[in-house]
Structure 1
Amino acid sequence: MMNRNDFDANGGSHTTGSTRRAFLFTTAGVLGAVALWSARLPGVASAHDRRGDGPATVTIVNFGADGKPTGKAVVPHVVKPDADWQKQLSPISFDVTRNAGTERPYSGDTWDLHARGIFRCVCCDNALFSSETKFESGTGWPSFWQPIAKENVVETTDRSLGMARTEISCRECDAHLGHVFDDGPRPTGLRYCMNSAAMHFVKLA
């Protein structure tokens, strides 16, 4: 196959038919390369990457009913077909966690929750956030200044809206949770802006 450089350098010496064929081959190659490059952009491919191309096991920190850590554990990486997730989850939870959707602000059931407890993944029950780090951000989504354990979440670059954001997902099952921003309160200065639909709340014993 001729590349663009060969065509530019030698086009004058080919017949018209040869030149036309070279142009078509070159154009197809360039378009194919662009498509492949676009598909691999962070954020563009992330929804598909969450569907199973991961490790067989992951390491998380477990937490007891009293909210205290009980130690690290190696657990299976939870992967299911969409049909199984749809049976398990509500439509909004499926859209948020499996398709990286976003619930409407002030529509979730935990954005203004003030009880003491742990926010766990709605898909796999992994501990994600503690009420001790929750704060009122005024955004209409539950917000925290840090996760309950850094091992329990994953940060990736999301470019889906034409901007670079840091996406937060569940380490155990890859569920999309929300994004983290650098406009939060002390001591971290971070705002983990999560979706209520991605978590369920468990009160401390």
Structure 2
Amino acid sequence: LILLMAAALLAAGFTDNQPKEKSGRGASMPETQKNLKTVTLAGGCFWCVEADFEKLPGVIEAISGYTGGRGDNPTYGDYAQKGHVEAVQVIYDPAKISYPQLLDYFWRHVDPTDAGGQFVDRGAQYRSAIFYQDAEQKQLAEASRQALAKSNRFSKPIVTEILPLTEFYRAEDYHQDYYQTHAVKYKYYRWNSGRDQFIQKVWGEGQAAAADPPGDPKYAKPDDAALRQKLTPRQYQVTQQEGTEPAFQNEYWDNKKAGIYVDIVSGEPLFISTDKYDSGTGWPSFTKPLEPGNIVEREDRKLFSKRTEVRSKHGNSHLGHVFADGPAPTGLRYCMNSAALRFIPKEYLEKAGYGKYLKFLGPDQHPGK
């Protein structure tokens, strides 16, 4: 209980009032973003709301922040006293996803009947709300709330507020992308918050999966017969049977070349050389994933202690484990099996179809730090 309360007290974060990159208030919007729109939503802990919306196709970015209160320039230490709530400003492409679709997604990731907070987080600062920017957003939000009420999905009244957006203040950097920068802590907090259990209970198994974008067909997993032909015995044993290769006797533990690492089974991009470091363990280690959406983390108790297993999303390959003993800035060590990976050198990225990652491997970026 003490651990759960401590985890709950950690939950927080927010941004500003213009659609923009994660920068301070008053920054101008880049020319390429002028066709984008924003919606501002409160659904409890903004770590979770930001994580859910950044998975949604059509969403460019979600920014954690504070809004709805009286005091200016709130911080995590005083936003509640100033009457603000934790909220997330969602920047989206209206050509790919509509405002009503965003609202429908929002309803499926909060408890709209809870006036006292959200899940484990209690207090007015965690209440749910939709903040509208104009009359059209207000009208659509009210219609969406009314439709939810008439659906009889919930036995209790819908209490989510619909309020005018005044000022939106960006939260501290620590809270931005928390689900990526503090993945283990976030996973622990989220599971113990009760949010996902509530979503599954109310919306069913299908909705739990709907929180993730559909799998990319180009990274589809081959059938078992094809895998046995494609993979070496070691690669098959590691990826399909959750094996572990010997330390210091594997292909990439000391690889210092520039490039990316993809799943040996599906080809989905997983890690990049600029995030690789020498952990002294004898296995390739990284501080964070290249594509967090391609990583799935699961609890593993097979060795009589709780660990966090890392698998690929599309290939469902066992990759290794992640530990909270890595270097700054993430504090994480993604300890991977070389047998689960295929390394693509920088000079072959374009030809192999991974050219978009070249920008992360500039001349001043060196692997093996």
What is the alpha-carbon distance in structure 1 between the residues aligned to residue 282 and residue 240 of structure 2? Answer: 21
Q: Name which of 286, 289, 293 aligns with 1:144.
A: 286
What is the alpha-carbon distance in structure 2 between the residues aligned to residue 77 and residue 156 of structure 1? Answer: 21
What is the alpha-carbon distance in structure 1 between the residues aligned to residue 257 and residue 292 of structure 2? Answer: 22
What is the alpha-carbon distance in structure 2 between the residues aligned to residue 127 and residue 169 of structure 1? Answer: 12
Which residue number corresponds to residue 87 of structure 1? 229
What is the alpha-carbon distance in structure 2 between the residues aligned to residue 102 and residue 127 of structure 1? Answer: 21
CA contact (8 A) 2:221 2:266 kept: no
SS at match of 1:197: helix
CA contact (8 A) 1:96 1:177 kept: yes
Which residue number corresponds to residue 203 of structure 1? 345
Q: CA, structure 1 residues 159+77, in 2 after alignment: closer, same or farther (shift >3 Å)?
A: farther
What is the alpha-carbon distance in structure 2 between the residues aligned to residue 123 and residue 135 of structure 1? Answer: 24
CA contact (8 A) 2:219 2:268 kept: no
Q: Structure 1 residue 78 and structure 2 residue 235: aligned?
A: no
Q: Name which of 108, 125, 131 aligns with 2:273.
A: 131
SS at match of 1:200: strand
Which residue number corresponds to residue 321 of structure 2? 179
Shift in Å at residue 76 of structure 1?
A: 6.3
Identity of aligned residues (%): 42
What TM-score, normalized to structure 2? Answer: 0.36
Superposed counterparts of 1:58-69, under 5 Å: 59=213
CA contact (8 A) 1:76 1:172 kept: no
Which residue number corresponds to residue 190 of structure 1? 332
What is the alpha-carbon distance in structure 2 between the residues aligned to residue 169 and residue 144 of structure 1? Answer: 14
SS at match of 1:169: strand
What is the alpha-carbon distance in structure 2 between the residues aligned to residue 173 and residue 195 of structure 1? Answer: 15
Which residue number corresponds to residue 178 of structure 2? none
Can you give the 5+ residue segments of structure 1 that lack an aligned partner in the other structure? 1-54, 61-72
Write the letter of the residue equivalent to 1:157.
E
Write the letter of the residue equivalent to 1:195.
N
SS at match of 1:84: helix
What is the alpha-carbon distance in structure 2 between the residues aligned to residue 188 and residue 79 of structure 1? Answer: 30
Rg larger in 1 or in 2?
1
Q: Structure 1 residue 115 and structure 2 residue 257: aligned?
A: yes
Over aligned residues, Cα RMSD in angstroms?
A: 2.1
Specify which structure has the bigger relative contact order, considering alpha-carbon pairs within 8 angstroms and separated by 6 or more residues. Answer: 1
What TM-score, normalized to structure 1? Answer: 0.63
Shift in Å at residue 74 of structure 1?
A: 3.5
Shift in Å at residue 160 of structure 1?
A: 1.3
CA contact (8 A) 2:244 2:337 kept: yes
CA contact (8 A) 2:219 2:266 kept: no
Shift in Å at residue 75 of structure 1?
A: 2.9
What is the alpha-carbon distance in structure 2 between the residues aligned to residue 152 and residue 81 of structure 1? Answer: 19
Write the letter of the residue equivalent to 2:235.
S
Which residue number corresponds to residue 309 of structure 2? 167
CA contact (8 A) 1:59 1:75 kept: no
Q: CA, structure 1 residues 75+82, in 2 after alignment: closer, same or farther (shift >3 Å)?
A: closer
Q: How many aligned positions are there? A: 138
Shift in Å at residue 77 of structure 1?
A: 6.8
Which residue number corresponds to residue 64 of structure 1? none
What is the alpha-carbon distance in structure 1 between the residues aligned to residue 290 and residue 338 of structure 2? Answer: 16
Write the letter of the residue equivalent to 2:338.
S
Can you give the 5+ residue segments of structure 2 that lack an aligned partner in the other structure? 1-208, 348-369
